[in-house]
Amino acid sequence: MLIQIKNLTKTYSDGVVETRVLKGLALNIDRGEFVAIMGRSGAGKSTFLYQMSLLDHPTSGEVIINGKNTETMNQKERAHFRLNTLGYVFQDYALLPELTAIENVGLPLLMQGHTRLHADKVAKDALERVGLGHRLNNLPSQLSGGEQQRVSISRAIAHNPEIIFADEPTANLDSESSKRVIDIFKDIHKNGQTIIMVTHEEEYGRMTERTIRLADGVIIEDKKN
Amino acid sequence: MNLTSFKVAFFLAYRQVKRSNIWTTILIVFVMMLTFLNLVVISGILVGLIQGSEEAFRTRYAGDVIISKLIEKPFIERTTDITNALDTMPEVKEYTTRYLQGGSVEANYKNSIRKDNEIKVAAGGQFAGINPEKEDRLFGLSGYVIEGQYLSNDDYDVIMLGANLLYKYTPIDSPSFRPLRDVEPGSKVRVTLGTTTREMIVKGIIKTKSGELDQRVYINAGQLRQMIGRDDFNVNEIAVVVNKDVQPEVVRDKLLAEGFGEHAKIQKWSEAIPQFLDQIKTTFALLGNLIGSIGIIVASITIFIVIFVNIVTRRKFIGILKGIGITPETIEISYVFQSIFYAVVGSAFGMGIVFFILKPFIAAHPIDFPFSDGILVATLGGTLIRALVLLIATILAGYIPARIIVRKNTLDAILGR
């Protein structure tokens, strides 16, 4: 078992009103699974992803990855864990505007201690894998939305993480680009990569192996596709 | 924190500076440069004001070694022996001797029935009997004549006045100091030296901005000797200029070793500088540093604001960096590197301006202060220390806002909450 979620809750408070977004979620995800987390807007699916992916701290409960309780990690250990174990694809691509495509993809590798030469080689391979071998030295502002999202995917996979978290990766893309992104995920998954993707689009959810459906902060469905 | 953090921080900082808005970069560098100039130039001018005065003292009056009479003696005894010794010293380039004698100059004396409130006499004026050509050769005095002409060796019954003796240049009216009014080149004045009074013509007015010179009345040495009935060659002052690369103390020590110290006060020029000048110099240096310190604080706040605004607008990207596993320390260091870049480039431009533009320009065109030709004092060592101070202040001003923002919640940063 790669991920264990135990009684996960998340409550936001503005000092007056408390909003319980996640209400005691529990589930397990095995290595190599391609999971879609679905639900209507406000169901808590992105919040769930953020807790699982160590971008946020749950109010209570445990996120155990590879047998390690991530809530016991300090800030530095979490950063190290995110760097070496996790990859992220964000809805708005989240590329660094002053870095070219190859630099964006190679950055986590540099942080892992690889040489620039090695980082560039791996980043180039990753970009070629998503069909962007001709856009290596373009800045994000010089790329279309679909291309930027493919750079983001390349960055997520280049350092060979154990889990890729994708938050609405197709939300800002046209249907053709969306299809291409999903095809890339499927291709990556074929090689044994664990992918956890938040989406509200049924069509793309069906393309995964497993769908977890949330409503009002609880899991209402967990099924194999 | 490890080497990788530094490498990645440098990578990020370099890319951010390289690909940031060029006008923003220019503006920040410009602010740093102005701050640096504020640090160096203000104190440099303040110190230079006094140093200009000291330079004038050396290059227009004292030379490298100044020999003067002992306080209890009327003149330098064994002057001839001293000058003979100077003649044999290879270190000495040239020297000039001066006779000094108290006297007075009276203007408009022909039509005067003095009223109590009409001041015509320069009381206590000191006459300097000089060899005009030699003085000019050594100290270029003719270049400081502001009205009329410089004395020549053939002049007789002719004087040259220091500007401080004229009301026109020193508009002071006090019982202890009464400058001459209505005197210009060509004016006839009555000169009293000892018991002799003669009518003389003012040939020129000299203004060197060296207090010792500008308060004197100049006359050919021969006529002064004649008027005061001097039949020996003992003078009151000998100004010695040494050859290039010779330290003044070499000549001073040689003269002292020969025992002339018993007959005259022998000093290198810096020892003869009036003490108040040194005190003013120290005070001005302190004042300059104080103003510079305020400049440093202003620069620190400026850089703090610039980096803070930069970081706040890039908060989302900082969140992304943290999200993909870049450590907070690495991000903080990247901003420190950016601060270093701004400080180093700003200081480098500032140094360029100081050493290649301001310093040579002010040296060629000194700032015209009433009592000094102000120069810009900026030594390489002192300037580098100021650059270092600015760098440290900038690093702190860059690091603190970076730390504040980087320590915020990662997800909030990414989502812009």
Report the mean per-residue pLDDT for chain B: 87
The chain B residue lying nearest A156, using CA atoms, is: B324
Alpha carbon of B352: minimum distance to chain A alpha carbons (Å):
30
Report the phi/psi class of residue B73: left, alpha or beta, with left for phi > 0 and alpha for psi in -120 to 50.
beta
Predicted pLDDT at B111: 60
Q: Tell me if B409 and A99 make a contact (CB, 8 A cut-off).
A: no
Q: Which of A80, A96, A116 sits opposite B320 (nearest CB)?
A: A96
Report the phi/psi class of residue B411: left, alpha or beta, with left for phi > 0 and alpha for psi in -120 to 50.
alpha
Among B residues 98-137, those touching chain A with beta carbons less than 8 Å apart: none
The chain B residue lying nearest A159, using CA atoms, is: B324
What are the backbone angles phi and psi of residue A26, rounded to the nearest 5°?
Answer: -145, 130
What string of H, E and C letters represents the secondary structure of A95-108?
Answer: CCCCCCHHHHHHHH
Complex ipTM over 0.95? no
**Chain B residues lying within 8 Å of A84, measured CB to CB:** 325
CA B245, CA B263: separation in Å to the nearest integer? 28
Amino acid at B149: Q
Residue B110's H or E segment, with its range, is: none
Exposed e or buried b for every residue in B23-44, given b needs 16+ CB within 10 A? eebeebbebbbbbbbbbbbbbb
The chain A residue lying nearest B20, using CA atoms, is: A98
The chain B residue lying nearest A58, using CA atoms, is: B411
Residue A78's H or E segment, with its range, is: helix A75-85
- What's the pLDDT tens digit per position in B179-202? 888 888 999 998 988 788 899 999
Integer Rg of chain A from CA: 17
Among A residues 55-84, those touching chain B with beta carbons less than 8 Å apart: 55-56, 75-76, 79-84
Alpha carbon of A109: minimum distance to chain B alpha carbons (Å):
10
pLDDT in tens, chain A (225 residues): 899 999 999 999 888 888 999 999 999 999 999 999 999 888 999 999 999 999 999 999 999 999 999 989 988 888 889 999 999 998 888 899 999 999 999 999 999 999 999 999 999 999 998 889 999 999 999 999 989 999 999 999 898 899 999 998 888 888 888 888 888 889 889 888 999 999 988 888 888 999 999 999 999 999 988
CA A96, CA A105: separation in Å to the nearest integer? 10
Strands across the sheet with A163-167, in order?
A86-89, A163-167, A194-198, A34-39, A210-215, A218-224
3-state secondary structure of B139: helix
Residue B246: C-alpha distances to residues A62, B83, B250, B251, B387 (Å):
83, 18, 7, 8, 33
Alpha carbon of A195: minimum distance to chain B alpha carbons (Å):
16
Inter-chain Cβ pairs, chain A and chain B, closer than 8 A: 70
- Residue B113, pLDDT > 60, answer no
pTM given for the model: 0.75
Q: By CB neighbour count within 10 A (0-12 exposed, 13-18 middle, 19+ buried), where does A168 fall?
A: buried
Alpha carbon of A52: minimum distance to chain B alpha carbons (Å):
12
Query: Does residue A12 sit at the B interface (CB-CB below 8 Å)?
Result: no
What is the CA A56 to chain-centroid distance, rounded?
13
Query: What is the number of alpha carbons within 13 Å of residue A218 lying toward its C-beta?
Result: 3
CA B209, CA B55: separation in Å to the nearest integer? 10
Q: By CB neighbour count within 10 A (0-12 exposed, 13-18 middle, 19+ buried), where does B137 fall?
A: middle
The chain B residue lying nearest A85, using CA atoms, is: B325
The token pair at A47 is: 């919040």
Q: Which of A84, A111, A139 sits opposite B326 (nearest CB)?
A: A111
Asked whether the beta carbons of B242 and B91 are under 8 A apart, the reply is yes
**Which residues, at least 6 apart from A72, have a Cβ–Cβ distance to it below 8 Å?**
none
Amino acid at B13: A
Q: Show the DSSP H helices in B243-327 as ranges.
A: 248-257, 269-272, 275-313, 315-323
What string of H, E and C letters represents the secondary structure of B27-47?
Answer: HHHHHHHHHHHHHHHHHHHHH
Among A residues 150-179, those touching chain B with beta carbons less than 8 Å apart: 155
The chain A residue lying nearest B325, using CA atoms, is: A83
Predicted pLDDT at B119: 43
Query: Does residue A97 sit at the B interface (CB-CB below 8 Å)?
Result: yes
- What's the pLDDT tens digit per position in B23-64? 888 988 998 898 888 888 888 888 888 888 888 889 999 999
The token pair at B210 is: 């060296």
**Which residues, at least 6 apart from B405, have a Cβ–Cβ distance to it below 8 Å?**
B308, B311, B312, B315, B318, B413
Q: Which of B7, B18, B411 sits opposite A110 (nearest CB)?
A: B7
3-state secondary structure of B125: strand
Query: Does residue B270 sit at the A interface (CB-CB below 8 Å)?
Result: no
Predicted pLDDT at B285: 79
Q: Tell me if B410 and A80 make a contact (CB, 8 A cut-off).
A: no
**Chain A residues lying within 8 Å of B326, measured CB to CB:** 79, 83, 107-108, 111
Report the phi/psi class of residue B201: left, alpha or beta, with left for phi > 0 and alpha for psi in -120 to 50.
beta
Residue B106: C-alpha distances to residues B172, B180, B193, B196 (Å):
17, 8, 12, 13
**Chain A residues lying within 8 Å of B409, measured CB to CB:** 56
Q: Tell me if A79 and B11 make a contact (CB, 8 A cut-off).
A: no
CA A90, CA B324: separation in Å to the nearest integer? 11
Q: By CB neighbour count within 10 A (0-12 exposed, 13-18 middle, 19+ buried), where does A19 fall?
A: exposed
Predicted pLDDT at B124: 57
3-state secondary structure of B184: coil
Query: Does residue A10 sit at the B interface (CB-CB below 8 Å)?
Result: no
Residue A39: C-alpha distances to residues A27, A45, B402, B413 (Å):
16, 7, 38, 25
**Which residues, at least 6 apart from B99, have a Cβ–Cβ distance to it below 8 Å?**
B75, B127, B128, B129, B130, B221, B224, B225, B228, B230, B235, B236
Alpha carbon of B343: minimum distance to chain A alpha carbons (Å):
21
Q: Which of A50, A96, A111 sits opposite B4 (nearest CB)?
A: A111
